[in-house]
């Protein structure tokens, strides 16, 4: 009946196809030039007067593994509870505990870490594995089955903070308590 009713659509098909390919090519070019913003751990860290990379604890807890292998200083870290004299827990948002390990160098500073203190720590984030927990058991860092079960809980996180140096906070509760420093060099 209407043999030429689609003739107009057929004439526009090729130009519309070319325009759509050009639009798609332009979009892909624009997307290739766009770069997603990256969080750089060095940009979040500020260098203090002592030459230490200070990281705000709230920034640290967002992505702890982003600081793996980088020596940083964290200020105002709460010691929630201790596991022996070498390990302690601090709390991340959402009541998630995070394991901190006090190194031999930090213990040589003759300071004892007690629960309820607030400390400034310098160290690195290190990967945590069950073989490392075995080494800690042999080295008597984890002295009981209860200690090892607590540390085993930290395996879900996959990392821990290895404290190289720490300082007691002079303000607040920690400065008022006697016995924050001990003569033990462990």
Residue 137's pLDDT band, with cuts at 50, 70 and 90, is confident
Helix (H, G, I), strand (E, B) or coil at 168: strand
Output the CA torsion sign for 63, 65, 69, 73: positive
**Percent of the chain predicted with pLDDT > 70:** 74
pLDDT score at 168 = 73
CA distance to 22, 35, 149, per residue, from 31 (Å) = 14, 8, 49
Residue 54 near residue 48, CB atoms below 8 Å = yes
In this predicted structure, the answer to whether residue 107 has a pLDDT above a threshold of 90 is: no
Q: What is the DSSP string of 62-74?
A: H-GGGGBT--EEE
Query: Which pTM was predicted?
Result: 0.60
User: What is d(CA 6, CA 137) in angstroms, rounded to the nearest whole number?
Assistant: 82
User: What is d(CA 124, CA 133) in angstroms, rounded to the nearest whole number?
Assistant: 18
pLDDT score at 49 = 54
What's the chain's Rg over C-alpha atoms?
A: 28
Q: Which strands sit side by side in the sheet containing 81-83, from one edge to the other?
A: 46-47, 53-55, 72-78, 118-127, 159-168, 96-102, 87-92, 81-83
């Amino acid at each position: 009946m209407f043999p030429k009713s689609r003739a107009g659509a057929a004439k526009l098909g090729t130009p519309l196809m070319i325009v759509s390919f050009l639009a798609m090519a332009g979009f892909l070019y624009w997307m290739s030039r766009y770069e997603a913003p990256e969080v750089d751990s060095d940009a979040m860290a500020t260098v203090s007067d002592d030459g230490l990379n200070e990281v705000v604890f709230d920034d640290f807890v967002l992505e702890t593994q982003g600081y793996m292998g980088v020596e940083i200083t964290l200020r105002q870290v709460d010691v929630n509870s201790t596991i022996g004299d070498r390990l302690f827990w601090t709390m991340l948002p959402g009541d998630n505990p995070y394991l901190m390990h006090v190194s031999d160098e930090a213990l040589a500073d003759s300071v004892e870490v007690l629960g309820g203190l607030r400390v400034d720590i310098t160290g690195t984030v290190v990967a945590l594995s069950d073989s490392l927990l075995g080494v800690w058991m042999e080295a008597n860092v984890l002295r009981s089955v209860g200690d090892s079960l607590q540390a085993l809980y930290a395996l879900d996180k996959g990392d821990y903070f290895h404290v190289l140096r720490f300082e007691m906070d002079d303000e607040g509760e920690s400065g008022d308590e006697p016995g924050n420093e001990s003569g033990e060099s462990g």
